[in-house]
Amino acid sequence: MTTLLKVDHVSKIFGGLKAVEDVSMHVETGELVALIGPNGAGKTTLFNALTGVSPATEGTVAFRVGDEMVSLDKKKPYQVAKMGIARTFQNIRLFHQLSVRENLQAAMTHRYKEGFVSSILRLPAFAKQEALANKWTDEILAKLDLTDVADVITANLPYGTQRRIEIARAVATDPQLIFLDEPAAGMNPEETADLAHLIKRLQTEFGLTVVLIEHDMSLVMSLAERIYVLEHGKLIAEGTPSEIQHNDAVINAYLGGGVHA
Amino acid sequence: MHTVLQQVINGLSLGSIYALLALGYTMVYGIIKLINFAHGDIYMLGAFWGYYVINTYHVDFIVALLSAMIVTALAGMIIEYLAYRPLRNSPRITALITAIGVSYFLENGMSYLFGANTRNFPQVVKQHNFTALGISISNIQVLILVTALILMILLQLIIQKTKMGTAMRAVAVDQEAAALVGINPDHVISFTFGLGSALAGAAGVLIGLYYNSIDPLMGMTPGIKAFVAAVVGGIGSVPGAAVGGFLIGLLETGVQAIGLSAYKDAAVYVVLILILIVLPAGLLGKNVKEKV
Domain range annotation of chain A: 3-84+175-256
Q: What is the pLDDT of residue A256?
A: 65
What chain A residue is nearest to B173 in terms of C-alpha separation?
A95
Cβ separation A82–B161 shorter than 8 A: no
What is the overall mean pLDDT for chain B? 89
CATH fold label, B2-278:
ABC transporter involved in vitamin B12 uptake, BtuC (1.10.3470)
Task: Give the ranges where chain A is alpha helix by DSSP (H).
Answer: 43-50, 77-83, 100-106, 116-120, 124-143, 159-172, 189-204, 217-223, 241-245, 248-255
Chain A positions in Cβ-Cβ contact with residue B174 (cut-off 8 Å):
93, 95
Q: What is the pLDDT of residue A119?
A: 67
What chain A residue is nearest to B177 in terms of C-alpha separation?
A93
List the end-to-end C-alpha distance of chain A, in Å, as a whole number: 34
Cβ separation A81–B163 shorter than 8 A: no
pLDDT at residue B262 greater than cutoff 60: yes
What is the sign of the dihedral through the CA atoms of B228, B230, B233 and B235?
negative
Residue B260, chain A, CB below 8 Å: the answer is no
Residue A53, chain B, CB below 8 Å: the answer is yes
Distance (Å, whole) CA B46 – CA B207: 10
Percentage of the residues of chain B whose pLDDT score is greater than 90 = 58
Cβ separation B176–A51 shorter than 8 A: no
What is the overall mean pLDDT for chain A? 86
Cβ separation B174–A109 shorter than 8 A: no
Q: What is the pLDDT of residue B21?
A: 94
Cβ separation B166–A87 shorter than 8 A: no
pLDDT at residue B227 greater than cutoff 70: yes
- Closest by alpha carbon to B79, among B22, B135, B132, B36? B36
pLDDT at residue B69 greater than cutoff 90: yes
Region B80-98: mean pLDDT is 92
Sorted by sequence, the CB contacts under 8 Å of residue B41 that are 6+ apart come out as B102, B103, B106, B107, B219, B220, B223
Interface mutation vs chain B, best among A109, A113, A169, most B CBs within 10 Å: A109
Residue B85, chain A, CB below 8 Å: the answer is no
Contact indicator for B10, B240 with CB cutoff of 8 Å: no
**Where do the structural domains in chain B lie, given as residue ranges?**
2-278
Q: What is the pLDDT of residue B198?
A: 96
Percentage of the residues of chain B whose pLDDT score is greater than 70 = 97
Cβ separation A93–B179 shorter than 8 A: no
What are the φ and ψ backbone dihedral angles of A99, each rounded to 5 degrees? -75, 170
pLDDT digits (tens, 9 = 90+) for A43-85: 888 888 888 888 888 888 889 888 888 888 888 989 889 999 9
Q: What is the pLDDT of residue B292?
A: 40
β pairing state of A85-87 and B119-120 = unpaired
Region B83-101: mean pLDDT is 92
Cβ atoms within 10 Å, residue B270: 14
What chain B residue is nearest to A168 in terms of C-alpha separation?
B181
Task: Give the ranges where chain B is alpha helix by DSSP (H).
Answer: 2-32, 39-57, 61-79, 92-114, 139-161, 163-173, 175-180, 185-211, 220-233, 238-257, 264-278
Residue B292, chain A, CB below 8 Å: the answer is no
- Closest by alpha carbon to B225, among B15, B7, B9? B15
Top-confidence residue, A118 or A8: A8
pLDDT at residue A182 greater than cutoff 50: yes
pTM metric for this prediction: 0.88
CATH fold label, A3-84+175-256:
Rossmann fold (3.40.50)
